[in-house]
Amino acid sequence: MSEFPWQSSFEIREQVVGGAASAVDVTRAYLARAEALNPKLSCFLTIDYEGALAAAAQVDRARDAGEDLGPLAGVPIAVKDNLCTRGVRTTCASQILGDYIPPYDAHVVEALRAAGAVILGKTNLDEFAMGSSNENSSFANVHNPWALDRAPGGSSGGSACAAAAGLAPLALGSDTGGSVRQPAAFCGITAIKPTYGRVSRYGLVAFASSLDQIGPMARSVREASQLLQVVAGHDRRDATSADRKTGDYVGACDRGVQGLRVGVVRDLLDGLQDADVRAGAEAALSALEKQGATLVDVSLPHAKHAVSVYYLIATAEASSNLARFDGMRYGLRVPGEDLAETYTKTRAQGFGPEVRRRIMLGTYALSAGYYDAFYLKAQRVRTLIRRDYDTAFESCDLVCTPTTPTPAFALGEKTSNPLEMYLADIFTLPPSLAGLAAISTPCGLSAAGLPIGIQLVAPPFEEEVLCSAGQVIEDGCGLLESRPSAID
Amino acid sequence: MADPKITLEQVLHVAKLARLTLSDDEARQMQEQLDAILGYMEGLDELDVSDVPPTFHSIPMDAPMRPDVPERCSDRSEILEQAPESEAGGFAVPLVLEVE
């Protein structure tokens, strides 16, 4: 049994169900830790003391009444602040939603409540999930718990930081082009980007609708798998939600990788500038090989175009999705002389620089005269990226690359050059564009003591194989026994 | 110096389309940043994709149908509580049309 605050979700549930601890006591302890560390880390935008204690008290009452308890009974969780929570402020880290209180719960939030989870609060993010360092939050910079001057990654930086720093065993994020995987890699935890359609987005504030997915984050592969099990499944309120049977993700963690064919993108690995990331990837591959997997060479010849393709498609979709923020029905309104001026003033004051930049880029790519040259062309190249994976999966069961080209970069290092920030997403974008399932899990530390993540990508709806392989990497070269050094 | 991929004039036009206002400084900076990004994206031109179909949806799916039956929706007052301004059970908005 691990000591507070490093217990797993399974250990916490067992204590609560067995009566060794009350859910209220567990929740109080995590709330106190969040309150103590949040000034240093800024991972929470809202800590919901009242709601968390009420949810915990309900779990305790259910236990006392002898009722069946859910799979996450009494387990504290941190939820990204672009997921709607009824009665609790949901800001997307944007001024335009600074005071917004949703009148409904997102599908995944309903699923958490039904499972008995205790939502501690809402986590910081890049505004509207647009960013790779969390520096685009309009409220505060999140700090990496392994080195406070480093970025936690983005856009789910607050969720990654909270789980990594022991502020909650579990967290939910959202991933459009890497937004759960990249911060998981930077903060030394595991995150799963489910197949497009696996998890309902009802109640997720939309960024790029052909790419957005909600993903579980946790310190261990098994906990992330369990959280996926809780939130996955069909929901008719999201028209893109797939009517598919949910897998046995926790069970898959014990299946091993005997006979599994792992695709290695050799030219990409050999081209890595960062020796620590290369060494981490080799360690992960040898852990898989040792447990009976076979390595096969595959190639993704069009993956190098993913940054261009993604930043055209995602910004085009964002420019359309964010048109709803007009100051009329909810959120900020800055009154102008007339309707048109009210729109422009509201949006100019309500959106931060990166969101404005992406709306501009997307509007440009969709505008008359440029649609064919930019947006349509990007969608065509997206087909080539998807076909690369189709070909790769003819000879392997999953494709392995690093999650990021480098470990966590310094806060402020890339803020003055948006393109350089975009280029840091090169490995997480291709599977997003193809709608595939992916996991990032730690595979070692750099010489400077920063976590390194490995990414595994599976064909659509084959998340189970990610859980099996992720567990083998965690057992072989993971960071489960390492604690982030910069917090206590 | 090569021609810019996007001019200041185009930036201001796009801002208007997107209902955003930019100060002079912001517009100049936006032009420089978008120019760099669009310049990088010219890398796509090395591919001939005229015969490649676009992928608008990565996972093939049909638009699902549901029975057309009325259901309870959210409470009106709860929704209006989030409105910047409301009046007589509706959203209050600036005047859209002048009426004589």
Interface confidence, given as ipTM, is 0.95
Burial of A29 (C-beta count, 10 Å sphere; 0-12/13-18/19+):
middle
Compute the count of residue pairs across chains A and B with CB atoms less than 8 Å apart: 155
Does B30 map to a domain? Answer: yes
Determine the straight-line distance between the first and last CA of chain A, rounded to whole angstroms. Answer: 20
Chain B residue with minimal CA distance to A90? B82
pLDDT band for B64, please (50, 70, 90 cuts).
confident
Q: What's the half-sphere exposure (Cβ side, CA atoms, 13 Å) at A391?
A: 13
Segment holding A454, helix H or strand E: strand A451-458
Mean pLDDT of B5-30: 96
DSSP-derived secondary structure letter, A178:
S
**From the CA of A402, how many Å to the nearest CA of chain B?**
22
How many independent structural domains does chain B possess?
1
Q: Which residues of B touch A434 (CB under 8 A)?
A: 58
DSSP letter for each residue of A132-147 = SSSTT-SS----BTTB
Does A434 contact B58 at a Cβ distance shorter than 8 Å? Answer: yes
pLDDT band for B100, please (50, 70, 90 cuts).
low
Question: Could you tell me the CA-to-CA distances from A82 to A101, A105, A121, A351 in Å, in that order?
Answer: 12, 11, 12, 15
Helical packing angle, B8-17 and B24-41, nearest 10°: 100
Nearest by CB to B54, from A351, A380, A460: name it.
Answer: A380
Does A345 contact B94 at a Cβ distance shorter than 8 Å? Answer: no
Does B95 contact A242 at a Cβ distance shorter than 8 Å? Answer: no
Quickly list H helices, A291-414: 306-321, 339-350, 353-366, 377-395
Q: Which residues of B touch A240 (CB under 8 A)?
A: 61
Does B55 contact A374 at a Cβ distance shorter than 8 Å? Answer: no
Does B43 contact A308 at a Cβ distance shorter than 8 Å? Answer: yes
**From the CA of A221, how many Å to the nearest CA of chain B?**
25
Q: Which residues contact A344 (CB under 8 A, 6 or more apart)?
A: A336, B19, B20, B21
Q: Do A31 and A49 touch, CB atoms closer than 8 A? A: yes
**From the CA of A453, how many Å to the nearest CA of chain B?**
25
Cis peptide before A155 (omega within 30 of 0): yes
Q: Which residues contact A226 (CB under 8 A, 6 or more apart)?
A: A9, A10, A71, A72, A218, A249, A250
Residue of B13, B19, B50, B75 best to disrupt the A interface, most CBs of A under 10 A: B19
Does A196 contact B58 at a Cβ distance shorter than 8 Å? Answer: yes
Does A246 contact chain B (CB < 8 Å)? no
The neighbour count for residue A287, using CB atoms within 10 Å, is 21
Is residue A295 helix, strand or coil? strand
Nearest by CB to A364, from B6, B44, B52: name it.
Answer: B6
Question: Could you tell me the CA-to-CA distances from A192 to A108, A255, A271, B40, B48 in Å, in that order?
Answer: 15, 18, 26, 30, 34
Chain B residue with minimal CA distance to A89? B82
Quickly list H helices, A42-178: 49-64, 107-114, 157-164
Q: Which residues contact A291 (CB under 8 A, 6 or more apart)?
A: A256, A257, A258, A472, A476
Is residue A179 flagged as an active site residue?
yes
Nearest by CB to B20, from A307, A344, A436: name it.
Answer: A344
**From the CA of A72, how many Å to the nearest CA of chain B?**
28
Instruction: Find where tokens 């009494």 sit.
Output: A74
Does B84 map to a domain? Answer: no
Does B73 map to a domain? Answer: no
In a structure prediction context, what are the per-residue pLDDT tens digits for chain A, which is 488 residues long? Answer: 689 999 999 999 999 999 999 999 999 999 999 999 999 999 999 999 999 999 999 999 999 999 999 999 999 999 999 999 999 999 999 999 999 999 999 999 999 999 999 999 999 999 999 999 999 999 999 999 999 999 999 999 999 999 999 999 999 999 999 999 999 999 999 999 999 999 999 999 999 999 999 999 999 999 999 999 999 999 999 999 999 999 999 999 999 999 999 999 998 988 899 999 999 999 999 999 999 999 999 999 999 999 999 999 999 999 999 999 999 999 999 999 999 999 999 999 999 999 999 999 999 999 988 999 999 999 999 999 999 999 999 999 999 999 999 999 999 999 999 999 999 999 999 999 999 999 999 999 999 999 999 999 999 999 999 999 999 999 999 999 999 988 87
Residue of B44, B76, B80 best to disrupt the A interface, most CBs of A under 10 A: B44
**From the CA of B3, how many Å to the nearest CA of chain A?**
17
Does A386 contact chain B (CB < 8 Å)? yes
Predicted pLDDT at B63: 85
Does B12 map to a domain? Answer: yes
Predicted pLDDT at B2: 67
Instruction: Give the span between the Cα atoms of A24 and A31, in whole angstroms.
Output: 10
pLDDT band for B60, please (50, 70, 90 cuts).
confident
Bridge-based pairing of strands B90-91 and B86-87 is antiparallel
Q: What CATH number is given to the structural domain containing B28? A: 1.10.20
Does B55 contact chain A (CB < 8 Å)? yes
Q: Do A122 and A137 touch, CB atoms closer than 8 A? A: no
Is residue A80 flagged as an active site residue?
yes
Given the residues A80, A122, A193, A414, select the one marked as catalytic.
A80
User: Of chain A residues 326-365, which have a CB less than 8 A from chain B?
Assistant: 326-333, 335-336, 338-340, 342-345, 347-348, 351, 356-357, 359-361, 363-364
Instruction: Give the span between the Cα atoms of B64 and A72, in whole angstroms.
Output: 31
Does A383 contact chain B (CB < 8 Å)? yes
Does B31 map to a domain? Answer: yes
Does B34 contact chain A (CB < 8 Å)? yes
Class of domain A1-488: alpha beta
Does A383 contact B17 at a Cβ distance shorter than 8 Å? Answer: no
Is residue A320 flagged as an active site residue?
no
Q: Which residues of A touch B15 (CB under 8 A)?
A: 360
**Domain with B18 in it:** 8-42
Predicted pLDDT at A487: 86
Does B89 map to a domain? Answer: no
Residue of B20, B28, B87 best to disrupt the A interface, most CBs of A under 10 A: B20
Given the residues A155, A159, A241, A468, select the one marked as catalytic.
A155
